Amino acid sequence: MSPRALRITVLLGCFVVVASFAQFRSGRGRGEGGPGGSTMRTARESDQHSNPTPAWTNAPAFKKDVFTFCRIRYSSWGGGRGWGGGRWATDFPDADLNLSWRLQQMTSLKVDPDGRVLEIGDPELFNFPWIYMVEPGALRFTDEEVPILRKYLLNGGFMMVDDFWGEDEWENFYREIKRVFPEREPVELEMDHPIFHAVFDIKLKKNELQCPSIGHVERAMRGGGTWEREDARDVHFKGIFDDKGRMVCFIAHNTDNGDGWEREGEHEYYFKEFAEKRAYPLGINVVFYAMTH
C-alpha cells in the first residue's frame, strides 16, 4: 500500500471509528466505583516495568471519543485477580501504554493516554468497544461473567486474546470461551483475511509472525526458533463470528504480542525484529479492523 493510500485508508476509517464509539455508548450509563473493591482503574496508576512510556494529551473535545486500550482483569485457576496470581497483568502496564502511543502516533486515531483496567462485571464495560485479555491459559470465568461477556460481544464489543502457548492452555481457553458461545466455533484465519491488511499490509507467513517473549530472544538470534515450548511451534490466529459474520473475538495463540509492545527500547534486535515487524503491525491492524467493522 502506498503512503498516500495508507493515509486515505486511515482517515476514512476514523470517521467510521467515531461513529462506532457513539453507537456503542448510546443508551448505556457509566458505573460507579470499581468491581471487587479494586481501586486501580488505569494503566498509568501502575508502576512501569520496562522503559518509560510516552505521555500525551488530547483536546477536551475528544475526551469521550477516543480509543481506549481496555485490559480485562480475570480470575485464574489456582490464583485470584490480584498481582500474586493474576496472569491478567502480564506485560502490564507498559504494553497497554506503548501500543496506545503507537496508535496515536501512526494512525489518525485519538487514543486515551491512560488506558483502563476492568472486570467483566463492571458496569462500565459497555462503554469500551475493545477489550484485551492476556495469558488465558488458566482463565476461569465466573458464572456471572459468562452471560455478560456474551452480551457485550454480541452487542458490538470486540475482544483480543493473546499470549498463551501449547495445547493444554488452548484447551483451557477453549473450554471457557465455549461457556460464552456454546453454539460457535473459533475459525482459523488465513493470511488473506482483511484483518492482516487493515493498516499494514502484512506479507509474512503465519508462523513468521510468531513473537516470543524477550526471554527467548537470544535463542531466536541463534536460530533456535521463536516458540516457547515444543507443542507451540505453529502460530494460530482464530476468529469468532456473530450471525452476521462480524468478528467478535480475535485469538492469537502461540505468540506473545504483548511482550513486543511492552519491551520497546530494551533490546535493539528484539525491537527491530519482533516489535517493529510483527507485534505492532498486528496489534494496530487488529484495533483498526475492530473499530471499522
Q: What CATH number is given to the structural domain containing 243?
A: 3.40.50.12140
Confidence of residue 212 (pLDDT cuts 50, 70, 90): very high
For residue 170, being part of any structural domain is answered with: yes
For residue 33, being part of any structural domain is answered with: no
The per-residue pLDDT for 265 is 83
Q: What is the mean pLDDT of the chain?
A: 86
Alpha-carbon dihedral sign for residues 59, 10, 20, 29: negative
For residue 35, being part of any structural domain is answered with: no
Q: How many CA atoms lie within 13 Å of 281's alpha carbon, on the beta-carbon side?
A: 19
For the chain, the domain total comes to: 1
Confidence of residue 38 (pLDDT cuts 50, 70, 90): low
Nearest residue to 164 (alpha-carbon basis) of 144, 134, 202: 134
Confidence of residue 60 (pLDDT cuts 50, 70, 90): confident
Q: 79 φ, ψ to 5°?
A: -160, 150
Residues with Cβ within 8 Å of 254's Cβ and at least 6 positions away in sequence, in order, are 164, 165, 166, 210, 227, 228, 232, 233, 234, 235, 236
For residue 34, being part of any structural domain is answered with: no
Nearest residue to 67 (alpha-carbon basis) of 258, 260, 289: 289
What's the pTM value of the predicted model, to 2 decimals? 0.86
Confidence of residue 52 (pLDDT cuts 50, 70, 90): confident
- Greatest mean pLDDT among 16-20, 28-32, 194-198 lies in 194-198
User: E-strand spans in the chain?
Assistant: 70-72, 75-76, 116-118, 130-134, 139-140, 158-162, 187-188, 236-241, 247-253
Task: Read off the DSSP letter of residue 79.
Answer: B
Q: How many CA atoms lie within 13 Å of 82's alpha carbon, on the beta-carbon side?
A: 4
The per-residue pLDDT for 22 is 39
Average pLDDT, stretch 56-75? 91
Contact 139, 74 (CB under 8 A): yes
State how far the alpha carbon of 59 is from the alpha carbons of 66, 72, 128, 229, in Å.
Answer: 10, 27, 19, 46
Contact 161, 251 (CB under 8 A): yes
| Cell numbers for 268 | 535493539
The boundaries of the domain holding residue 79 are: 3-27+48-292
pLDDT(13) > 50 = no
Residues with Cβ within 8 Å of 142's Cβ and at least 6 positions away in sequence, in order, are 75, 121
For residue 157, being part of any structural domain is answered with: yes
Average pLDDT, stretch 39-63? 84
Give the residue with greater pLDDT, 171 vs 53: 171
What pLDDT, in 10s, does the model give residues 171-185?
999 999 999 999 999
The total of other beta-carbon atoms located within 10 Å of residue 217's CB is: 20
The per-residue pLDDT for 250 is 99
Average pLDDT, stretch 187-210? 97
pLDDT(102) > 70 = yes
pLDDT(254) > 70 = yes
For residue 36, being part of any structural domain is answered with: no
Contact 121, 148 (CB under 8 A): yes
The per-residue pLDDT for 78 is 65
Contact 71, 117 (CB under 8 A): yes
For residue 92, being part of any structural domain is answered with: yes
pLDDT(8) > 50 = no
For residue 39, being part of any structural domain is answered with: no
Give the residue with greater pLDDT, 171 vs 38: 171
What pLDDT, in 10s, does the model give residues 136-172?
999 999 999 999 999 999 999 999 999 999 999 999 9
Confidence of residue 108 (pLDDT cuts 50, 70, 90): confident
